[in-house]
């Protein structure tokens, strides 16, 4: 849903998942954690960060636009999650990716 949908739900993902599957979120989360070894919330965050990286590669949106598109409460929240997951700030990731693309184009 995060990678292939242009219209992400504006509601909390836990509420959305519970509503769509018609099960209590805690129940779903416990089963998911047993199978995947991470929480459902961690899984969603990882996919959101992968989407951010993808959007940076295509260089179509700035960080504020990406934050809005993925329904982050603020750019700061997105930046903090991005750095926690990748170890890099979004701006550093974007700059290093642009340098890498430039080097590949000029080989």
Dihedral angle, C-alpha 55, 58, 59, 61, nearest 10 ° = -40
Reported as a single tens digit per residue, the pLDDT across 77-98 is 999 999 999 999 999 998 887 6
Helices 90-105 & 75-86 angle (0-180, nearest 10)? 70
**What letter does residue 3 receive in the DSSP assignment?**
T
**pLDDT reported for residue 61:** 87
How much is the mean pLDDT over the chain? 84
The burial class, CB within 10 Å (0-12 / 13-18 / 19+), for 56 is buried
Q: What is the pLDDT of residues 14-44, one digit of tens each?
A: 788 888 899 999 999 999 999 999 999 899 8
Which domains does the chain possess? Answer: 13-105 (1.10.10.60)
Query: How far apart (Å, rounded) are the C-alpha atoms in residues 64 and 61?
Result: 8
* % of the chain surpassing 70 pLDDT: 80
Average pLDDT over residues 56-64: 86
């Amino acid at each position: 849903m995060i990678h292939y949908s242009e219209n992400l739900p504006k509601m909390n993902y836990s509420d959305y998942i519970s509503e769509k599957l018609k099960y209590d979120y805690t129940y779903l989360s416990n089963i998911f954690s047993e199978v995947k070894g991470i929480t459902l919330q961690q899984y969603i965050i990882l996919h959101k960060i992968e989407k951010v990286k993808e959007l940076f590669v295509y260089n179509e949106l700035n960080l504020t636009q990406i934050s809005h598109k993925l329904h982050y409460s603020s750019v700061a929240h997105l930046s903090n999650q991005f750095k926690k997951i990748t170890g890099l700030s979004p701006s550093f990731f974007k700059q290093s990716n642009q340098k890498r693309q430039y080097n590949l184009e000029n080989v």
